């Protein structure tokens, strides 16, 4: 293999592919990036066996790449050394040449590095075939969905299925749901796709959000019962799915409410942020007392002290309310919403309550379970 390529474009591609690599992989070759040079394109691949990313680079799709394939070939180079070498080369182009077996020379300007790699045949075979069931979505819309739901997954492995976001489509409506049993985030969007139901690891979705960004370009999402594939431009990212049955969450969401609070979103977030430094058993338990338009937030700890915040609601309907909840959970839920004012709907002091945008947008719902306290 012997190629020349734009240093900056190559380095940008390496940064994307490197996201899929586990630093301490038990498979030595998986600590590297596979580089394959063909007549008119360069293919680079990174994987940790669960998440895999492949990028196809060519002058046809990216003229600034300045790719020149002098001799075809392939090699696997440890991603840490590869990224560091390319970053430090002080020239607009980098030349990569296999000089003996897997010994590879990187040169540019006055710098030259030689590094031992792995044979491409030692790299595990990765099936990048794309499932037939697919739909397209704007990158910024995908980023929005992930931001509004993935934070609510279970961060522990006690129930593995809850570490992912459930994506279910009936053919015209896609519902994305995340829960850790104490809170829930649900996003609904219209799309056309064959019916499916999968649960995607939150790490995968957050990685997809970082890679595809918030542009107006479209990303194609394909899935079957084994994997999900994201494709955009020359990037293909795929991940295994979580096995198991995602819990039926619809029955947890109240449909009738006895009280409703409309409050400024930023004011609520700021008040919760100021009050949540006081923690009991590593949880900021906020007592919320509502009487008319007066909202009192209290957080007490015998060891630390107490905090009081007084807010004025835009409106409140129903009997006075005294309820306690995790300040972090409500703050996260409020941050996921986007309207200036939000609606918080209650069914009782010890029953789940929901937070929604104030207005016509009903596509996003946040649910939080209250906490029992003895005030």
pLDDT per residue as tens digits for the range 54-105: 999 999 988 899 999 999 999 999 999 999 999 999 999 999 999 999 999 9
Rounded to the nearest 10 degrees, how much is the dihedral formed by the CA atoms of 6, 9, 15, 20? -100
Q: How many domains does the chain have?
A: 3
pLDDT of residue 145: 97
* pLDDT per residue as tens digits for the range 280-338: 777 889 999 999 999 999 998 777 778 899 999 999 999 999 999 999 999 999 999 99
61 and 107: one domain? yes
Domain assignment of residue 127, yes or no: no
pLDDT of residue 301: 75
**Which domain-ending residue is among 201, 226, 246?**
246
Domain assignment of residue 373, yes or no: no
pLDDT of residue 374: 60
pLDDT of residue 156: 80
What is the CATH classification number for the domain harbouring 77? 3.10.150.10
11 and 43: one domain? yes
Among residues 207, 80, 215, which one has the least CA distance to residue 137? 215
Place of tokens 């007490």: 300
- Token couple for 11: 């380095």
Domain assignment of residue 71, yes or no: yes
74 and 115: one domain? yes
* Ramachandran angles phi, psi of 17, nearest 5°: -65, -35
242 and 258: one domain? no
213 and 231: one domain? yes
With 0-12 CB in 10 A as exposed, 13-18 as middle and 19+ as buried, what is 256? exposed
Domain assignment of residue 166, yes or no: yes
9 and 118: one domain? yes
Q: Any alpha helices (H) in the chain, and if so which ranges?
A: 7-18, 79-88, 139-149, 202-212, 265-275, 327-336
**Which domain-ending residue is among 122, 157, 189?**
122
299 and 359: one domain? yes
Give the chain's mean pLDDT. Answer: 94
Domain assignment of residue 102, yes or no: yes
In whole angstroms, give the CA distance from residue 205 to residue 149: 10
Q: What is the DSSP string of 70-130?
A: EE-EEEEEEHHHHHHHHHH--SSEEEEEEEETTEEEEEETTEEEEEE-B-GGGSPP---PP
In whole angstroms, give the CA distance from residue 107 to residue 97: 9
Domain assignment of residue 340, yes or no: yes
How many beta carbons lie within 10 A of that of residue 258, not counting itself? 14
87 and 150: one domain? no
210 and 300: one domain? no
Per-residue pLDDT of the chain (375 residues; tens, 9 = 90+): 999 999 999 999 999 999 999 988 889 999 999 999 999 999 999 999 999 999 999 999 888 999 999 999 999 999 999 999 999 999 999 999 999 999 999 999 889 999 999 999 999 999 999 999 999 999 999 999 999 999 999 988 778 999 999 999 998 999 999 999 999 999 999 998 899 999 999 999 999 999 998 889 999 999 999 999 999 989 999 999 999 999 999 999 999 999 999 999 999 999 999 988 887 777 889 999 999 999 999 998 777 778 899 999 999 999 999 999 999 999 999 999 999 999 999 999 899 999 999 988 899 999 999 998 765
pLDDT of residue 375: 56
Range of the domain at 330: 253-368
**Which domain-ending residue is among 213, 246, 279?**
246
In whole angstroms, give the CA distance from residue 301 to residue 307: 9
* Ramachandran angles phi, psi of 47, nearest 5°: -160, 155
287 and 340: one domain? yes
**Number of residues in the chain:** 375
Domain assignment of residue 128, yes or no: no
73 and 19: one domain? yes
Domain assignment of residue 23, yes or no: yes
97 and 201: one domain? no
């Amino acid at each position: 293999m012997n190629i020349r390529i734009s240093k900056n474009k190559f380095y940008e591609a390496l940064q994307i592919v490197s996201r899929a690599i586990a630093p301490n992989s038990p498979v030595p070759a998986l600590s590297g990036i596979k580089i394959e040079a063909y007549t008119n394109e360069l293919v680079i691949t990174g994987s940790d066996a669960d998440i895999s990313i492949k990028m196809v680079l060519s002058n046809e799709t990216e003229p600034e790449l300045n790719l020149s394939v002098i001799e075809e070939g392939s090699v696997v180079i440890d991603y840490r050394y590869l990224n560091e070498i390319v970053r430090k080369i002080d020239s607009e182009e980098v030349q990569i040449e296999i000089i003996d077996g897997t010994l590879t020379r990187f040169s540019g300007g006055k710098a030259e590095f030689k590094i031992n790699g792995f044979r491409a045949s030692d790299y595990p075979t990765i099936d990048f075939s794309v499932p037939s069931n697919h739909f397209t979505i704007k990158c910024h819309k995908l980023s929005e969905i992930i931001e509004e739901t993935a934070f609510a997954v279970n961060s522990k492995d006690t129930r593995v299925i809850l570490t992912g976001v459930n994506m279910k489509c009936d053919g015209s409506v896609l519902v994305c749901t995340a829960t850790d049993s104490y809170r829930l985030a649900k996003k609904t969007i219209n799309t056309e796709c064959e019916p499916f139901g999968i649960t995607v690891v939150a790490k995968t979705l957050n990685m997809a959000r970082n890679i595809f960004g918030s542009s107006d370009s479209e990303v194609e999402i394909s899935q079957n019962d084994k994997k999900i594939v994201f494709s955009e431009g020359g990037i293909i990212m795929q991940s295994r799915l979580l096995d198991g049955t995602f819990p039926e969450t619809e029955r947890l969401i109240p449909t009738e409410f006895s009280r409703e609070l409309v409050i400024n979103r930023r004011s609520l977030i700021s008040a919760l942020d100021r009050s949540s430094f006081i923690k009991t058993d590593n949880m900021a338990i906020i007592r919320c007392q509502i009487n008319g338009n007066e909202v009192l937030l209290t957080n007490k700890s015998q060891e630390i002290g107490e905090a009081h915040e007084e807010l004025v609601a835009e409106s409140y309907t129903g009997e006075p309310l005294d309820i306690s909840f995790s300040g972090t959970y409500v703050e996260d839920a409020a941050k996921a919403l986007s309207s200036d004012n939000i609606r918080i709907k209650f069914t009782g002091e010890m029953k789940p309550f929901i937070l929604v945008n104030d207005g016509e947008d009903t596509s996003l719902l946040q649910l939080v379970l209250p906490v029992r306290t003895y005030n």
